[in-house]
Amino acid sequence: QETRGLIAKRYRTVTRAINREFYDSYSEVEHSLYVGSYGRCTAVDTSDIDIMVILPREEYDHFDSYRGNGQSRLLQSVRTAIKQSYSTSDVRADGQVVKIAFSDEMKFE
């Protein structure tokens, strides 16, 4: 139960960071959802939590118009937003996801 509470707290913090940066909102629930095994309620291990965030279409279009590496820059923008809330955690843009590695070995993607 303690782990579920920690997951929920981190989920809300990530969601709020995304909403603050991209929607000018402090919502902790809008524009995101759990996906993967945790989202399907089939997780055996809660060390790897997958969430999906929905960004405004205009953000995608803005970065997509860049010459080369536009999507990578968009991912870096998401990373920067999350890093503001988790400045001491390892937050990396890797491939098509942003990964957050917490000191307790829990990971969010």
Domains with residue ranges and CATH for the chain: 2-108 (3.30.460.10)
Per-residue model confidence (pLDDT) at position 1: 73
Which residue, 88, 84, 83, is CA-closest to 98?
83
Per-residue model confidence (pLDDT) at position 108: 97
Per-residue model confidence (pLDDT) at position 26: 96
Across the chain, where does the E strand assignment appear? 32-35, 48-53, 90-94, 97-101, 107-108
Which residue, 52, 54, 49, 53, is CA-closest to 38?
49
List per-block mean pLDDT (blocks of 10 residues) for the chain, which spans 109 residues. Answer: 92 97 97 95 90 93 79 91 95 92 95
**Is 22 in a helix, a strand, or coil?**
helix
Per-residue model confidence (pLDDT) at position 72: 85
Per-residue model confidence (pLDDT) at position 11: 97
**Is 100 in a helix, a strand, or coil?**
strand
* Cβ–Cβ < 8 Å for 31, 50: no
